Amino acid sequence: MVRNVLGSILALAGATAAVLSPFRAWYDGRHGRDFRLDELFSGAGVTDAGAELFGSLFLPFAFAALLTLVGVVLRARLPVALAGVLVLGFTVLWMVRQGQAEGSLAVAGDGSGLGQGVLGGLCSGVALLLGAALMTGRASRAHRASRTDGTGGTDGTVGTDDRYGPSAAHDPTSGSGAHGAHDAHGTSGAVPTLDGPAWTAPRRDDPPPPPPG
């Protein structure tokens, strides 16, 4: 339970950072939302052309955030892990294509090289993968049943003995089941009784019964 909570918090933090990263500078002060998504897969590579919001790097990062939300709600590790791979993949792909267009990638203190948006994309992808690794996921139905069903379950119930019925093991004073059978054999002094009227032997001074007829 604790691992699921920590993993969910880390995954949500990574998804938030991934969505915000396109609104930061990626290269030479140019924001990630200004890079066209289709240029990453074209032969021309990255150009100076502008991009619409949902046609830029924002689109895959927003989809990754949606996958993260689904994974956290369903307590599923796979969607969160896929979101981390998606964010890291597009960030690295952009770095490769930008390096091809510029000839090299530089990191400069004056903001003329790689910006904080790239660092945000890399860190958010790693955070998503770590969140998926921390999450334990939902327990299977068979595992939950084994923990709450049968004898010696973790729900605090005491198992019953099928030979004597469900109430035999719980009522030691009922005189039936395992305890009753144990008492009937003389270990506790209990004597079985016969149903019906009591029978007494005739005494010697009683008159003989009248003859029939």
Per-residue pLDDT reduced to its tens digit, 24-74: 999 988 999 999 999 999 877 888 888 899 999 999 999 999 999 999 999
The verdict on residue 146 lying in a domain is: no
The verdict on residue 169 lying in a domain is: no
Per cent of the chain over pLDDT 70 is 62
Whether residue 118 is predicted with pLDDT greater than 70 in this model: the reply is: yes
The verdict on residue 175 lying in a domain is: no
Q: Check: CB of residue 21 under 8 Å from CB of residue 95.
A: no
For the residues 135-154, what does the mean pLDDT come to? 57
Q: What is the pLDDT of residue 96?
A: 92
Whether residue 12 is predicted with pLDDT greater than 50 in this model: the reply is: yes
The verdict on residue 44 lying in a domain is: yes
The verdict on residue 122 lying in a domain is: yes
Whether residue 183 is predicted with pLDDT greater than 60 in this model: the reply is: no
Q: Which candidate, 21, 83, 29, places its Cα nearest to that of 57?
A: 21
Whether residue 142 is predicted with pLDDT greater than 60 in this model: the reply is: no
Whether residue 191 is predicted with pLDDT greater than 80 in this model: the reply is: no
Whether residue 187 is predicted with pLDDT greater than 70 in this model: the reply is: no
Enter the tokens of residue 167: 């109430």
The verdict on residue 147 lying in a domain is: no
Name the residue range of residue 25's domain: 2-138
The verdict on residue 112 lying in a domain is: yes
Q: In which band, very low, low, confident or very high, does the pLDDT at 81 lie, cut at 50, 70 and 90? A: very high
Q: What is the pLDDT of residue 180?
A: 46
Q: What is the pLDDT of residue 179?
A: 46
Whether residue 158 is predicted with pLDDT greater than 70 in this model: the reply is: no
Query: Domains in the chain: how many in total?
Result: 1
- Which has more pLDDT, 12 or 145? 12
Q: Which candidate, 183, 163, 161, places its Cα nearest to that of 172?
A: 183
For the residues 174-191, what does the mean pLDDT come to? 47
The verdict on residue 78 lying in a domain is: yes
- Which has more pLDDT, 74 or 148? 74
d(C-alpha 27, C-alpha 19), whole Å: 17
Q: What is the mean pLDDT of the chain?
A: 77
